[in-house]
Amino acid sequence: DYKVTGVQTCALPILLSQWNPYYTFWLLKRGRAEMRIEDATHRVAAGQWIIVPPNLFRRHALSENTELLSLSFQWTWPLGDPVLAMRSPVIGRANHAAKLCTQVRRVVRYFEAPWPANQKLVVAQWLGFQRDCHEFLLTMSQVVTDRGLDRKSTRLNSSHLVISYAV
């Protein structure tokens, strides 16, 4: 099941504290972000991305000129456990995971175009959206796994996953 709420581009300074049940992917196009997650501070600059695991208390601040691409999504096994057993964020440079950044842009493009008045996608758009979401999630799991996550926790069987998206 896929659920989407919109696209987030930020041009104002934001200071926000929250507990978040979603994975969060940010690609910083401009500016800086500082994210305090549990007891650690993570800094991300233009040209970098961060993947934050779900179920962590976080506080973040963005510089005034920050522009970012943000994708938040829930990705769980049928009993509700997160698919990736991440305990801390993963940060990288956009040029080191170009495929990941390209795929997140493909997912977000579905929400940048005007939606029909009834907000329903035609079948071809829906199937393209599903394909692009699955490709993004598979690539993300590969990137996280390559950075040391337990490989057993990243095995995917898309017929047994619950995936919802909030952009």
pLDDT digits (tens, 9 = 90+) for 48-97: 999 998 888 888 889 988 998 888 888 888 888 888 888 889 998 888 78
How far from 107 is each of 7, 25, 80, 141, 147, CA to CA, in Å?
Answer: 10, 12, 23, 16, 23
Inter-helix orientation angle 98-112/123-146, to 10°: 150
pTM for the full predicted model: 0.71
Question: What's CA 72's distance to the chain center, in Å?
Answer: 5
Lowest mean pLDDT among 6-15, 31-40, 118-127: 6-15
Check whether 42 has a pLDDT greater than 90.
Answer: yes
pLDDT digits (tens, 9 = 90+) for 120-143: 667 778 788 889 999 999 999 888
- Answer left, alpha or beta for residue 95, where phi above 0 means left and psi between -120 and 50 means alpha: alpha
pLDDT at 16 (0 to 100): 52
